[in-house]
A and B are shown apart, each in its own frame.
Chain A
């Protein structure tokens, strides 16, 4: 059936009239802040407490817009007769946002979760040189990083959670075995000496031997993702002990350099990660233990 002549014209009029009665889509930006999704790529924030000056971000950056300066500091041996440790201290961390193309590779590549996307976007400058933002400014932007959106209801369990839960379960099993009657204790006894160390801090026993310092940090950051595990540990029966178990498990020299190496950064991140629960994985180890 052929359309009625002029029906197209009427349709056109209807479209415009209908649009007029609908709410307009204009964002009144300077008056009303835009409602940005949490993963918006506005600016890159630096969580400098997590930075180990590994330079991976600077090296991976496709347009070389990250500037990092650092120096080495030597930390006296913790125990008499022990070996001195050295570590990198961050002097300068700057991102030239005039060069940055917002690819996010630095954020992806950071092994210590020191870089984050923030939806903050109002940092225009009148001089292009002022777009090179230094660490204090980058650190300030961390406050604007929102919590990551929750996983989908049916989503796979995050790897960090799975690993931590496995550890906790193992530990719980061991402890349960220890508390059970002697006959069963006899069975688990051979395994007991290794178990407490291995599951809690897998790198700890080996790492300190060759490279004392960075592994200490790494041990901080890696199992770090244990804030969620900490939650889990609460829900699980035994694993309230894992932190305790860890400190127990690490033989003498290890804990001390760790706690002594960067006391501020270890206590620092935790209150700061408080307001941004999303950073849990980054700075959480102290909080968990």
Chain B
């Protein structure tokens, strides 16, 4: 009974985090992007600096009609948003934010495997949406998504593998436990590769070729309206949370910080994740979209070699210090 309650509570907390954090990131994006462009952003909804803008957006989405195109593959079309969103919820369960038992939804021995495998499933949602929509723009978007997944999953895995090598474990809490401050310079290349590849997998600008609204409307999500469309958007922002959390845990030492080691570790995790989320937004505002060929070129000619070099470096250092 106690175990069941414990599990239920953990899942509830993860679920609440899953529902609120993306909104916080989304609102931050509204405001940060606006100010980076010399604007104010939302100012009305909720009264104080438009804090309730995304709540209002959610209400609006919920009121809209849920349209399924006549030619669409109905089942797949309707299932796609769930497939896009749920993996991030599952990944969130495995991300530790503090050193003790209570600070992670579920400790998994094969944490990295689980996390990366499940995150890869999220892209399937976009593929399904693109294929099932019976729309050429959706199809193009879906294919671009697939190409992007292929190109960026590899450097992401390699970079993660480098950390696993360094720590000698694939468990996420185990990696953070093994973390020393000098890992930061040691794994910096891997960190950058992981972060950039993660951005590309989330289809965040500047890697948003699959949804490039100026050429293919909104890619795989073109035919979606209302709540299902909102779920895709939520998936993107949940993806930001997951990516920032993972980068923090794998490369930035999670709950390790200069001070406040006992009891306040989770603050460090959240703080580092928040900074990374800000960088995600910052990159979106600053850079224009990469062309499809540039996107592929960046991965295959830059990120993959870099991550391989990182693995080599990790291996050499690992051998030397033993």
Contact = CB atoms under 8 A, between A and B. Distances in A.
B38 A16 contact: no
A17 B282 contact: yes
A24 B282 contact: no
Contacts of B36: 16-17, 19-20
A25 B287 contact: no
Contacts of B40: 24, 26, 28
A20 B286 CA distance: 11
Interface in B31-50: 32, 34-40, 43
Contacts of B286: 12-13, 15-16
Interface size class of chain A, counting residues whose CB lies under 8 Å from the partner chain: 10 to 19
Contacts of A12: 286-287
Given A9-B287, A12-B287, A20-B32, A25 B282 contact: no
A20 B28 CA distance: 13
Contacts, number: 33
B233 interface: no
A129 interface: no
A26 B49 CA distance: 13
B188 interface: no
A26 to B, nearest CB: 4
Contacts of A15: 286
Interface in A25-62: 25-26, 28
Contacts of B38: 19, 22, 24-26
B118 interface: no
B146 interface: no
Nearest to B288: A12
B285 interface: yes
A15 B286 CA distance: 8
B70 to A, nearest CB: 39
Contacts of B39: 24-26
Contacts of A25: 38-39
Contacts of B285: 16
Contact of A20 (B35, B43, B283, B287): B35
A13 B37 CA distance: 12
A177 B282 CA distance: 82
Contact of B35 (A9, A13, A19, A28): A19
A24 B287 CA distance: 20
Nearest to A25: B38
A128 to B, nearest CB: 29
A9 B283 CA distance: 10
A1 B282 CA distance: 29
Nearest to B40: A26
Contacts of B37: 19
Nearest to B37: A19
A96 to B, nearest CB: 35
Contacts of A19: 35-38
Interface in A195-249: none
Nearest to A12: B286
B282 to A, nearest CB: 6
A26 B34 CA distance: 10
A24 B35 contact: yes
Interface in B1-47: 32, 34-40, 43
A254 B235 CA distance: 88
A26 B35 CA distance: 10
B282 A16 contact: yes
Contacts of A22: 38
What 3 A-B pairs have minimum CB-CB distances, sorted nearest first?
A26-B40, A16-B36, A20-B35
Given A15-B286, A26-B38, 6 more contacts: A13-B283, A19-B36, A19-B37, A24-B34, A24-B35, A25-B38
